[in-house]
Structure 1
């Protein structure tokens, strides 16, 4: 997974070390310090770890997941209406991606429930 803020890629060894450190209950700031990575990356990995353990850290960003509309709506309502933290929403709904949660909330604020409906990807079929 690329850290968009810093353009850095992290190898399997670094991610494995991160998962081992997170397993000890260390917070994201200490993780960042121990691994020499940006706090934003450490926070993302910490939240992913809270959702899916070691595999969530090891496979972060490896595949594009499609989530059902109902799940997205539940996530958004818990975050925006109930005031749950991003981390709590991620853990509650099993969504390992902080950016997905933030994107869905932004989409909902801008376009309501309809904005959460998946649009077909790729080229339109020829008529």
Structure 2
């Protein structure tokens, strides 16, 4: 979507108001959509030059409801209501209307943007479990310990055998020389 500066919008609207050439001719001349031109003209007629300025505003739920009620009461279109209340986004009004029909007034309230905060729970100190006594240990724990101890004994026996073999091989080398 192309964004137009304020001076360009003002020039096009002034040309429409003075020459009265119509939106179709101006649309073709400047390469701007007719709906965009009509929105600019409506904003100019209702709010003057300030209607053409860019505006970034967050609206309250009360304001949104006021806009919707006026639209329903006077049977206005989205474009007419956006020009009347100086809203830049006529599509936003349809969104407000849908939200209102789905969730009532509460749905119109602004929501926080961004990632929701993490749920923080109070940190509890880790509960230390006392070492179980010999009688309280399970059969599975005992079998694991036996397996570990057997592996340790086998490792030590192998280490001892390697050290003895090394000692016996060392004197032979001395005798040979």
Category of TM-score, reference length = shorter chain: 0.5 to 0.7
The alignment's TM-score, normalised by the length of structure 2, stands at: 0.51
Q: Is the 8 A contact 1:22 1:31 kept in 2?
A: yes
Structure 2 residue aligned with 1:106? 98
Distance 1:11 1:71, change over 3 A: closer
Are positions 1:45 and 2:60 aligned together? Answer: no
Q: Structure 2 unaligned runs (5+)? A: 121-177
Q: Is the 8 A contact 1:29 1:42 kept in 2?
A: no
Aligned-pair CA distance for 1:23:
4.9
Distance 1:91 1:11, change over 3 A: closer
Q: Is the 8 A contact 1:86 1:98 kept in 2?
A: yes
Q: Say which structure is richer in helix.
A: 2
Deviating more after overlay: 34-43 vs 22-31? 22-31
The CA RMSD measured in Å over matched residues stands at 3.0
Bigger relative contact order (CA 8 A; separation at least 6): 1
Structure 2 residue aligned with 1:67? 59
Q: How many correspondences in the alignment?
A: 118
The alignment's TM-score, normalised by the length of structure 1, stands at: 0.66
